[in-house]
Structure 1
Amino acid sequence: MGKEKKAFALRLDPELHRALELWAADEFRSVNGHIEFLLREALGKAGRLKAVRPPMPPSDSDDEHQA
């Protein structure tokens, strides 16, 4: 199996939860999966989580600057 996940209670305003339900459904995710996705995305943008994907290879225009 994959990594163990930490379970904890999360209290949300019902309106916020409903909005998350609709958004998650649009993205074909569970509410829990969508919350995890959003948190991962925010942490990545903030530089607080190691990159999960390998870095992009340099483009052809980058080669011109190295010459």
Structure 2
Amino acid sequence: MAEKKAYPLRINTEVLDAVQRWADDELRSVNAQIEYVLRDALRKAGRLKKPDEDKDA
């Protein structure tokens, strides 16, 4: 598992409320939802490697 690093985040209340509702809908914590959204955006922008789908379990 990758090492986690704490990072303080200042965020608009309206945005945080929307992320909270979204996280609730997907049964995630707000922290996990923010990380999910960031990873997805990074992958789509070509700034993060896609998981290797060819690996055998």
Bin of the TM-score, shorter chain as denominator length: 0.7 to 0.9
RMSD: 1.2
| Alignment: residue pair count | 54
User: Is 1:49 the counterpart of 2:52 in the alignment?
Assistant: no
Percentage identity across paired residues of the two chains: 52
Which ranges of structure 1 fall in alignment gaps of 5 or more residues? 56-67
- 2:16 maps to a residue whose letter is H
Q: Which structure 1 residue ranges, 4+ long, deviate > 3 Å from structure 2?
A: none
Ranges in structure 2 where 5+ consecutive residues have no aligned partner: none
Corresponding residue number in structure 2 for 1:37: 36
**Structure-1 residue corresponding to 2:21:** 22
Quick check: which has more Rg, 1 or 2?
A: 1
Displacement of 1:52: 1.3
Alpha-carbon offset, residue 50 of structure 1? 0.6
Give the number of the structure with larger relative contact order, counting CA–CA contacts within 8 Å between residues 6 or more apart.
2
Q: TM-score, normalised by structure 1?
A: 0.74
Which AA in structure 2 matches 1:36?
E
